[in-house]
């Protein structure tokens, strides 16, 4: 894919270069530079997806374990219910219903506490918001700078971008280390265990 | 396939950009170039990394919601399952009372009720102290000296900036008008009161000696808190050195000899070291701070350059703009090269550098936000575990009050509930409700908080991965967008020459970076 893209790029660049002016070498340099940058973007996009996929997998695993546990309780409870019905323990069933309703009623007093949780959610949501689009925010600066940029030669443009590519690469390598450190430091998700062995 | 198409479009865009920029003599506005520039921009805009990232983020959020909702269901199922076993248990002691004890021991270790009572006392003492401190701080604010009421941390070993500001604010001078002097005297008394209160701060840890779930959560919380406090302290030291170095540099520039003097050069070296220390710091607070400073100084530099008059006179804020050369040694090199080679302006490096810094700032800001969220969640986990334990201790208290009654002792759970006298029955229902609630609602809350704690760690990884993508797309985008803008605007040669003349002043200025 890389070769095909580079070929397309060179074709496009040559065609446009010949049509527009007579300095093909800087043009080709810039074109090659553009191809390298595009590949770098693809690589980082893949790395982002890998990170996202790793996190998704962890969350799915937790949900799977939660659901497996949930299903086990459901099966046991259903069987228990059938036995009790046959045994005719109406008084116990009534006590079960009463205590269940009573305990649930405490949950309805949860509103103030739920707000606390919602606040944490909203804190996290702020953190989770997508990054601002720098291209949009910089319109004014770009307009102001456009005046200065007009006479920049292609070779200078290539030099500027490729030298910044090194700066960006350094920052990205730093960030990769931070991602790995955070990944290592992330604890495994626990799943709620049973209260204790049921007394029979 | 779609990705390949996008890449081809992207490359075409860059090629178009190269074409537009490639010829040195573009002096007149051209419809053709304008169209090419616009097309390049359009093609690039279709390489939509933002949408890809938003979609991936959306999926993760949905999974998080499912994780939390399933936890609620699981806690409810465990509660109901346990309740079934309880109501049919042949002995109230093993069927109910022991369950409460076991849960309590799991949460806080042995001796739960005593530990919980002691913790409640310590918290109550702290609340009383906090209320008195707040009163003294309100009194301070009432004197309106324009300085925030200091907190106890401001008077610790090394007084903070806020602490020093408060002390300075109450210093009276003979030239001041009597009303102001009176306010300062009043504030000085309030300050003394605050300091006294701070000395009397109750230091006892309410959770001292707790084991089990709460003990583990508390150890984690203290560890996180300590690590954060150390980061804050280290960042404060680095920032203080930076501020001092920046001030020394500004003073050196102000002595009329520009940046060429030995004093200015020495100040620039010190400032550069302070910047390096912040930028390479392991803590996100330092990196956030320096990225913001760099961004501001770069903006000041851009403003100074683009707002310069055609007479070559420098606009206001130029000394601040000159700091950009120290904050960005590379910028100085670029400027030198550009000016040596004559008409090769700085626009592109400036624009790219600005985008780069903006993203570094965003990454650091997100790390700070994620770590702060984690700190809050770690506290909430401890509080929830304590609330669970407190509720279990209350349940045990209710059961203790009826355990010896003949209609309860040694009987089955159903018999006990049916046979007890009304007052005893109320205690039993209350106790059971506390226990079941701790098992369902509070246990679910604690687990959900654990998932959110982990999510904050995930966010940290995602933020950096996302910024890495943005760094490249920004670098490509800057080229394309700027070329499109330049193509549309045409050129005013006179203005460029005047601005280059203005830059010449900076050229003298950045000699220190040689």
Summarised one tens digit per residue, pLDDT across range A171-194 is 888 888 888 888 888 888 888 887
Q: In whole angstroms, how far apart are CA B110 and each of B116, B214, B372? A: 11, 12, 33
Dihedral of CA atoms B495, B354, A164, B275 in degrees, nearest 10, equals 120
- pTM here? 0.75
Same domain? B199 vs B300 = no
Maximum Cα interatomic distance, chain A, rounded to a whole number of Å: 98
Name which residue leads in pLDDT, B212 or B311: B212
Q: Given this model, what pLDDT does residue B179 score?
A: 82
Number of structural domains, chain B? Answer: 2
Instruction: Name chain A contacts of B365, Cβ cutoff 8 Å.
Output: none
A56 — contact with chain B (CB < 8 Å)?
Answer: yes
Q: Given this model, what pLDDT does residue B368 score?
A: 93
Residue B382 in domain: no
Q: Given this model, what pLDDT does residue A99 score?
A: 93
- Contact (CB, 8 A) for B264 and B258: yes
A132 — contact with chain B (CB < 8 Å)?
Answer: yes
Q: Given this model, what pLDDT does residue A149 score?
A: 45
Q: Given this model, what pLDDT does residue B478 score?
A: 62
A168 — contact with chain B (CB < 8 Å)?
Answer: yes
Q: Given this model, what pLDDT does residue B389 score?
A: 97
3-class secondary structure, B87: helix
Q: What are the extents of the domains in chain A?
A: 2-107+154-184
Q: In whole angstroms, how far apart are CA B227 and each of B148, B158, B220, B234? A: 27, 19, 11, 11
The pair of structure tokens assigned to B188 is: 């000085």
Name which residue leads in pLDDT, B342 or A58: A58
Q: Given this model, what pLDDT does residue B297 score?
A: 80
Instruction: Name chain A contacts of B464, Cβ cutoff 8 Å.
Output: 175-176, 178-179, 182
Instruction: Name chain B contacts of A141, Cβ cutoff 8 Å.
Output: 299, 302, 351, 354
- According to DSSP, residue B486 is labeled H
ipTM over 0.85: no
Overall average pLDDT of the A37-42 stretch: 72
Q: Given this model, what pLDDT does residue B172 score?
A: 75
- Contact (CB, 8 A) for B324 and B346: no
Instruction: Name chain B contacts of A130, Cβ cutoff 8 Å.
Output: 50, 53-54, 57, 466
- In the listed set B179, B209, B239, which residue is the last one of a domain according to the structure? B209
Same domain? B347 vs B489 = yes
Question: Chain B residue closest to A87 (CA)?
Answer: B88
Q: Given this model, what pLDDT does residue A100 score?
A: 92
User: Of the given ranges (A37-46, A145-154, B227-236, B455-464), which has the lowest mean pLDDT?
Assistant: A145-154
A83 — contact with chain B (CB < 8 Å)?
Answer: no
Instruction: Name chain B contacts of A30, Cβ cutoff 8 Å.
Output: 14-15, 17-18, 21-22
Same domain? B184 vs B318 = no
As a whole number of angstroms, the distance between CA B360 and CA B380 comes to 30
Same domain? B141 vs B187 = yes
Same domain? B178 vs B264 = no
Same domain? B339 vs B249 = yes
Same domain? B248 vs B288 = yes
Question: Chain B residue closest to A33 (CA)?
Answer: B14
- Subunit contact B489:A23, Cβ cutoff 8 A: no
Chain A, residues 96-125, CB within 8 A of chain B, namely 96, 98-100, 102-103, 105-107, 110, 113, 116-117, 120-121, 123-124
Same domain? B285 vs B358 = yes
Closest by CA position to B215, among listed B95, B112, B136:
B112
Same domain? B292 vs B227 = yes
The pair of structure tokens assigned to B487 is: 């193509």
Chain A nearest-CA distance from B437, in A, is 6
Closest by CA position to B418, among listed A95, A184, A85:
A95
Same domain? B182 vs B232 = no
> Does the pLDDT at position B144 exceed 60?
yes
Structure confidence by residue, pLDDT tens digits, A94-128: 899 999 999 888 877 665 566 666 776 666 666 55
Overall average pLDDT of the B342-357 stretch: 66
> Does the pLDDT at position B399 exceed 90?
yes
Same domain? B294 vs B350 = yes
Residue B78 in domain: no
For tokens 């191809």, name the residue. A35
Structure confidence by residue, pLDDT tens digits, B264-293: 788 888 988 999 999 999 999 999 999 998
Question: Chain B residue closest to A29 (CA)?
Answer: B18
- Contact (CB, 8 A) for A145 and B306: yes
Rounded percentage of chain B residues whose pLDDT exceeds 70: 71
Q: Given this model, what pLDDT does residue B340 score?
A: 53
Q: Domain range holding B361?
A: 223-365+473-513
Instruction: Name chain A contacts of B345, Cβ cutoff 8 Å.
Output: 148-152
> Does the pLDDT at position B511 exceed 60?
no
Q: Given this model, what pLDDT does residue B217 score?
A: 96
- Subunit contact B84:A77, Cβ cutoff 8 A: yes
- Subunit contact A110:B441, Cβ cutoff 8 A: yes
| Among B413, B433, B461, beta carbon nearest to A103 | B433
pLDDT band (50, 70, 90) for residue B260: low
Structure confidence by residue, pLDDT tens digits, B42-89: 555 566 777 878 888 888 899 999 999 999 999 999 999 999 999 989
As a whole number of angstroms, the distance between CA B179 and CA B150 comes to 22
Question: Chain B residue closest to A89 (CA)?
Answer: B88
Same domain? B305 vs B236 = yes
Name which residue leads in pLDDT, B30 or B307: B307
Query: ∠ CA(B479), CA(B480), CA(B483), 5° rounding?
Result: 85
């Amino acid at each position: 894919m890389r070769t095909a893209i580079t070929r397309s790029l060179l074709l496009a660049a040559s065609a446009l270069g010949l049509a527009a002016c007579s300095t093909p070498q800087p043009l080709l340099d810039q074109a090659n530079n553009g191809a390298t940058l595009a590949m770098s973007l693809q690589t980082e996009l893949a790395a982002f997806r890998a990170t996202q996929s790793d996190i998704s997998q962890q969350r799915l695993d937790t949900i799977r374990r939660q659901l497996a546990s949930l299903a086990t309780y459901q099966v046991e409870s259903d069987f228990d219910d059938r036995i009790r019905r046959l045994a005719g323990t109406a008084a116990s069933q009534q006590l079960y219903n009463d205590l269940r309703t009573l305990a649930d009623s405490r949950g309805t007093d949860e509103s103030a506490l739920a707000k606390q949780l919602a606040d944490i959610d909203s804190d996290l949501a702020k953190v989770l918001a997508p990054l601002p689009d720098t291209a949009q925010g910089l319109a004014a600066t770009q307009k102001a700078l456009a005046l200065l940029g007009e006479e920049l030669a292609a070779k200078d443009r290539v030099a500027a971008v490729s030298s910044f590519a090194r700066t960006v690469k350094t920052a990205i390598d730093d960030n990769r280390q931070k991602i790995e450190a955070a990944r290592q430091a992330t604890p495994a998700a626990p799943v709620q265990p049973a209260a204790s062995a049921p007394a029979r | 396939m779609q990705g390949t198409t996008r890449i081809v479009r992207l490359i075409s865009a860059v090629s178009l950009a190269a074409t537009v920029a490639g010829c040195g003599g573009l002096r007149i506005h051209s419809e053709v170039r304008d169209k090419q520039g616009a097309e390049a921009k359009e093609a690039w805009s279709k390489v939509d990394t933002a949408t890809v990232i938003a979609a991936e983020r959306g999926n993760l959020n949905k999974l998080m919601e499912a994780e939390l909702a399933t936890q609620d269901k699981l806690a409810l199922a465990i509660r109901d399952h346990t309740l079934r076993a309880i109501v049919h248990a042949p002995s109230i002691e093993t069927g109910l009372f022991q369950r409460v004890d076991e849960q309590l021991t799991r949460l806080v270790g042995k001796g739960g009720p005593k530990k919980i009572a002691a913790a409640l006392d310590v918290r109550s003492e702290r609340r009383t102290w906090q209320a008195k401190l707040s009163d003294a701080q309100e009194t301070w604010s009432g004197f309106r000296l324009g300085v925030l009421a200091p907190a106890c941390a401001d008077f610790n070993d090394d007084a903070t900036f806020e602490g020093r500001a408060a002390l300075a604010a109450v210093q009276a001078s003979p030239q001041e008008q009597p009303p102001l002097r009176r306010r300062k005297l009043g504030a000085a008394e309030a300050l003394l009161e605050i300091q006294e209160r701070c000395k009397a701060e109750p230091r006892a840890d309410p959770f001292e000696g707790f084991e089990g779930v709460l003990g583990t959560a508390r150890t984690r919380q203290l560890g996180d808190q300590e690590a954060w406090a150390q980061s804050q302290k280290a960042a404060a030291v680095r920032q203080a050195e930076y501020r001092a170095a920046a001030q020394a540099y500004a003073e050196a520039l102000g002595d009329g000899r520009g940046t060429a003097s030995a004093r200015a050069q020495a100040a620039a070296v010190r400032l550069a070291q302070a910047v390096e220390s912040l930028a390479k710091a392991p803590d996100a607070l330092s990196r956030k701070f320096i990225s913001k400073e760099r961004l501001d100084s770069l903006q000041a530099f851009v403003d100074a350059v683009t707002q310069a008059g055609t007479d070559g006179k420098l606009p206001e804020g130029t000394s601040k703009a000159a700091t950009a050369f120290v904050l960005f040694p590379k910028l100085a090199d670029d400027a030198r090269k550009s000016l040596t080679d004559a008409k090769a302006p700085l626009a592109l490096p400036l624009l790219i550098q600005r985008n780069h810094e903006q993203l570094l700032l965003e990454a650091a800001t997100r790390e700070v936000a994620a770590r702060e969220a984690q700190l809050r969640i770690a506290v909430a986990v401890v509080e929830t575990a304590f609330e669970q334990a407190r509720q279990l201790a209350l349940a045990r208290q209710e059961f203790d009050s009826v355990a010896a009654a003949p209609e309860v002792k040694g009987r089955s759970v159903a018999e006990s509930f049916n046979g007890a006298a009304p007052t005893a029955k109320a205690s039993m229902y209350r106790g059971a409700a506390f226990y079941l609630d701790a098992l369902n609602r509070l246990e679910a809350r604690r687990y959900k908080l654990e998932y959110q704690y982990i999510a904050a760690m995930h966010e940290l990884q995602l933020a950096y991965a996302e910024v890495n993508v943005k760094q490249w797309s920004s670098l490509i985008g800057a080229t394309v967008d700027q070329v499109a803008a330049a193509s549309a605007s045409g050129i005013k040669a006179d203005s460029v020459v005047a601005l280059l003349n203005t830059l010449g002043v900076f050229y003298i200025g950045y000699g220190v970076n040689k």
